[in-house]
Amino acid sequence: MSGDDPRHFFFYGTLQSAQSGEAAKLILPKLKRIGAGFIRGRLFLIRAPHLTYPALLLDDATEQYVHGACYEMGSDFSAADLRFLDAYEEYFPDAPSKSEYLRQALSVTLERGTQILAWVYVYNFPL
């Protein structure tokens, strides 16, 4: 991670809460929840055999917003933790065209109105 990279995440799906699953239980203790937030876009549900999960598509033309939880990296959050999240989201930095999601640095609005730069996993394929 470089010094210019965001120190925040915006999660809109299974990583919003430690009750959501094993990945959240592993990673959320290394992050500090800073509040609810939202980003302009559309949320879809991907239905696969035995699995349903959310997919965010960015859309500046829509009046729709996707709501989620914003977190700040804790002091013990490491590059290995970021690689874990990337693998969980099936983001492959060296092969973006094969990635199900892309990790993008985007402006997210907190519910109190301030904006932060956060990593957001955005769905990589058309729906």
Q: Provide the pLDDT for residue 68.
A: 97
User: Does 1 fall in a domain?
Assistant: no
Q: Quick one: average pLDDT of 102-111?
A: 97
Whether the pTM exceeds 0.85: the reply is yes
**Within a domain: 68:** yes
Tens digits of residue pLDDT in 37-59:
999 999 999 998 988 999 999 99
Q: Evaluate whether residue 3 is within a structural domain.
A: no
In a domain? residue 98: yes
Domain extent, residue 21, equals 8-123
3-state secondary structure of 87: helix
Local confidence band at 5 (pLDDT 50, 70, 90 cut-offs)? confident
Which CATH number characterizes residue 66's domain?
3.10.490.10
In a domain, 2, yes or no: no
How many domains, the chain?
1
Whether residue 39 lies inside any domain: the answer is yes
Instruction: In whole angstroms, give the CA distance from residue 48 to residue 98.
Output: 18
User: Quick check: is 60 in a domain?
Assistant: yes
* Neighbouring-strand partners of residue 42: 57
CA distance 7 to 72: 6
Q: Please indicate, yes or no, if residue 89 is contained in any of the structural domains.
A: yes
Q: Which residues of 1-15 are buried (b: 16+ CB within 10 A; e: fewer)?
A: eeeeebebbbbbbeb
